[in-house]
Amino acid sequence: MAKLKVAVVGVGSLGQHHARIAAASERTELVAVVDASPERGREIAAKFNTSFVTDLGSAIESADAVQVAAPTGVHLEIGKQALERGKHLLIEKPLAGSLEQGRALLELFNKVKAEKPSLIGAVGHLERYNPAVIALRTSGLRPRFAEAIRVSPFPMRSLEVDVVMDVMIHDLDLLLSLFNRKVQSVEALGVPVLTPFPDIVNARIKFEGGSFATVTASRVARKKERVLRIFGEGEYAALDFAEQKLERLKLVKTPEGDPQVVPDATEIARDEPLRLELEAFYQACLGQKPDIVTFQEAFEAMEVADQVQRAIKTSLAEAGFKL
């Protein structure tokens, strides 16, 4: 089968790994990398034996599929150019810099897809491809309550997007897919610590059917922690994203009929979530199984993130913070 020609736009901290994986995959040929910094673009192109292309339009023209790992603020402008040329597109999370921009991308994607049904549009919610998450999903646990915590030391980048759209969005997408129920209400609080914007936020999301989740995200923690605890009927699961570990407990009956909580061991083979995500995208583009996070799903996560942001803004304004 002919290889999928791929161009990677934005080869910074994360995009270099997009380029590495596209260059190494048996399904693809990395035909171009694009970056606003010629120095960086040339460096990554040389490393992965491809061309650094300064003109975005020609890079897109030369490819069947475009991977965008440029800053969130330019996702819309780059994504638009790829979609207008009918190219498959994978955009890093969050889909776009604002809800309006996300909606514009989703609408354009739907319009182009109506004319070209084979078109694939995916968003880089890579935690969905974390082997521990895949194991959790296949365990069949039906969540009633979840607690997600994602905290890390202060980053020197991605500051143009707040901690909700940049960090919490991972868990919002994951929770929407795991609960698979409509969101009924969103409450949220947050406080500025090192920037004028909320750096620590906590949200409570209530789903239809009485289940709910609390989500904490911070970019001012001493060290990284990314965990998810989920409770279902007679079941508990604790997931560590970085360690790719899933600990499960189940309520069973002993031979005497007494209730007992026992561990349910889950063997997990470690793998690179980004590689799994990109291979799934390549497969979808090549007309194989479409195991991708769609623009629609990514937009729905943004809608919840937007509700979180608005709730925080209201509470900070009421408390007299100047934003």
Ligand X SMILES: NC(=O)c1ccc[n+]([C@@H]2O[C@H](COP(=O)([O-])OP(=O)(O)OC[C@H]3O[C@@H](n4cnc5c(N)ncnc54)[C@H](O)[C@@H]3O)[C@@H](O)[C@H]2O)c1
Do the bridges between strand 4-9 and strand 28-34 make them parallel or antiparallel, or are there none, so unpaired? parallel
Rounded Cα distance between 271 and 130, Å, is: 8
Compute the least distance from the CB of residue 304 to ligand X, in Å. 17
Do the bridges between strand 51-52 and strand 212-218 make them parallel or antiparallel, or are there none, so unpaired? unpaired
Compute the least distance from the CB of residue 11 to ligand X, in Å. 6
Question: In terms of CB distance, is 166 or 279 closer to ligand X?
Answer: 166
Question: In terms of CB distance, is 166 or 235 closer to ligand X?
Answer: 166
Compute the least distance from the CB of residue 223 to ligand X, in Å. 18
Q: What is the CA angle 79-95-286, rounded to 5? A: 60
Q: Determine the straight-line distance between the first and last CA of the chain, rounded to whole angstroms.
A: 54
Question: In terms of CB distance, is 39 or 233 closer to ligand X?
Answer: 39
Compute the least distance from the CB of residue 1 to ligand X, in Å. 28
Token pair for 53:
């292309």
Rounded Cα distance between 85 and 221, Å, is: 43
Compute the least distance from the CB of residue 268 to ligand X, in Å. 19
Q: How many CB atoms lie within 10 A of CB 260?
A: 10
- What is the amino acid identity at position 70? A
Q: Kindly tell me the number of DSSP H helices and DSSP E strands found in the chain.
A: 10, 14
Compute the least distance from the CB of residue 94 to ligand X, in Å. 6
Question: In terms of CB distance, is 250 or 275 closer to ligand X?
Answer: 275
Question: In terms of CB distance, is 12 or 232 closer to ligand X?
Answer: 12
Compute the least distance from the CB of residue 148 to ligand X, in Å. 15
Sequence-distant (≥ 6) Cβ neighbours of residue 69 within 8 angstroms? 8, 9, 10, 11, 12, 14, 15, 18, 92, 124
Rounded Cα distance between 178 and 146, Å, is: 10
Rounded Cα distance between 294 and 300, Å, is: 10
Contact 133, 126 (CB under 8 A): no
**How is residue 97 annotated by DSSP?**
S
- What is the amino acid identity at position 102? G
Question: In terms of CB distance, is 46 or 262 closer to ligand X?
Answer: 46
- Closest residue (Cβ) to ligand X? 12
**Interaction site with ligand X (CB under 6 A):** 9-15, 34-37, 40, 69-72, 74, 92-93, 124, 126, 157-158, 166
Question: In terms of CB distance, is 139 or 177 closer to ligand X?
Answer: 177
